[in-house]
A and B are shown apart, each in its own frame.
Chain A
Amino acid sequence: MAIDPLSNARSERRWAFAMVGAAMMMLFAIVWASLSPHMNPPSNIENVDPNTLHIAGEFTEDNLGTQVDAKGRVTTRIVTSQFSFAPECVVVPQDMQVTFRFVSPDVIHGLLVVGTNINTMVVPGYVSQVHTMFDKPGDMLMPCHEFCGLGHSQMVAHVRVVPIADFKPDENGRVACAEH
């Protein structure tokens, strides 16, 4: 009994169809998610000068952390640098749209918030922006996930999600983890 090359070719063709079908299924799911519930990777092309972050503009020290603007929008600004986040703890409200804005003055960092879809790189020269809504309160870890140097493993921050009733901005619209 000889090996039937035609039979093998048919089998391999069927396998190829199955694999293309599997890939198409995943592609369809990703395209559907991006078009219907608008689940896209964070995308924001916005330049910033990493040399002057700390001197002027949006990311000076007194402007970091969570702030509620006049229209009620919640924005959290964080500077990621070797080997810490500034600030290392931010407060955000539950069940409200929150915008995170990250910059780096030194090297490429990355971050994620455990248990959420927040996951982005922070590249010097660009502002990384993520919009999200937290549906339950709690303290969540936000570690750096891009190796940034010898202290990388110590680089971690916290996102403290509080119920709206406990989210109380001061007269400047600012909310911080530390008690005043």
Chain B
Amino acid sequence: MNNPADTDPDITDPTLAAHLDEAPSGAFALAGIAVALLLVAWAIIYLFVFLPRGPVG
């Protein structure tokens, strides 16, 4: 459990709030890169594997 002795005295409410406010940009950057890689992988498979194999319907 939280022990007051383990708490960094430099972390005050205002500094915590400031860091939390910055969090979305880092989270969006991480999520954006992950989703972009996923989309690129999907596009490569779709364009260079699926389409050249031709229709089967």
Contacts and interface: CB of A to CB of B under 8 A. Distances in A.
Contacts, number: 65
A37 B51 CA distance: 9
A110 to B, nearest CB: 14
A131 B39 contact: no
A35 B51 CA distance: 13
Contacts of B39: 22, 25-26
A38 B28 contact: no
A39 B17 contact: no
B24 interface: yes
Nearest to B21: A3
Nearest to A116: B53
Contacts of B57: 38-43, 131
Interface of A: 1-4, 7-8, 11-12, 15, 18-19, 22, 25-26, 29, 33, 37-43, 115-119, 130-133, 135
